[in-house]
Amino acid sequence: MQSTLHHSLRLAMIAIACVLWSSKALATQGHAGIEGIWVHQFAHLFFLFSMLLLIYWLRQAGLVKLPGWRYIQYAALFFMLWNVDTILVHFLDEQIKAVTVQNLDNWRIGIRTIPGYEWLAPVYYLAKLDHLLCVPAMVYLMLGLQHMLKEAESDAPGKRGNQ
């Protein structure tokens, strides 16, 4: 019991230290030069149309009647929405430079737009929340793959009931 308490206390202290002495994560990626952003945007378009084609193929084959493939279809839909969202964000801040973001301090940012287009600031802010589309896509993908794995394991030769 004593070692469990020490272990928990040590983990709590590490967590507190991580919060108190944190620094910038720099979790975003810039694209050097206009060539980088064009290639990146085409990659988003390719991914978008690939997901559209996947949904079309799944519906044509009637696979969306099966739960695993239905989840995969939902994942593809969310990935499509995510790609549209990220294409918009890249277009606004890296291609036409209609929006610039300033770090005001550790917890605040300022979003500046070109004059006359102030309405772009809330649009840009909401569009930067792209993880609200990407994370559900990955969850649906995981659920679909898990469901198909369970089906494959239950149908595998040598399992009880299938001999």
Q: Would you say the pTM of this structure is higher than 0.85?
A: no
Inside any domain, residue 74: yes
Q: pLDDT 10s digit of each residue in the chain, 163 long?
A: 667 878 888 888 888 887 777 776 666 666 666 678 899 999 999 999 999 999 999 999 999 999 999 999 999 999 999 999 999 999 999 889 999 999 999 889 999 999 999 999 999 999 999 999 999 999 999 999 999 999 999 987 766 554 4
d(CA 137, CA 74): 7
Is residue 143 one of the residues assigned to a domain?
Answer: yes
Residue 90 is assigned to a structural domain of this protein: yes
* Domain housing 139: 35-151
Asked if residue 24 is part of any domain, the answer here is: no
CA 81 to chain centre: 10
Number of domains, the chain: 1
CA 96 – CA 77 distance, rounded (Å): 27
Q: Is residue 159 part of a domain?
A: no
Strand 99-105 to 108-113 pairing: antiparallel
89 located within any domain = yes
Nearest to 71 by CA among 154, 126, 159, 151: 151
Name the residue among 82, 86, 120 with its Cα closest to residue 101: 120
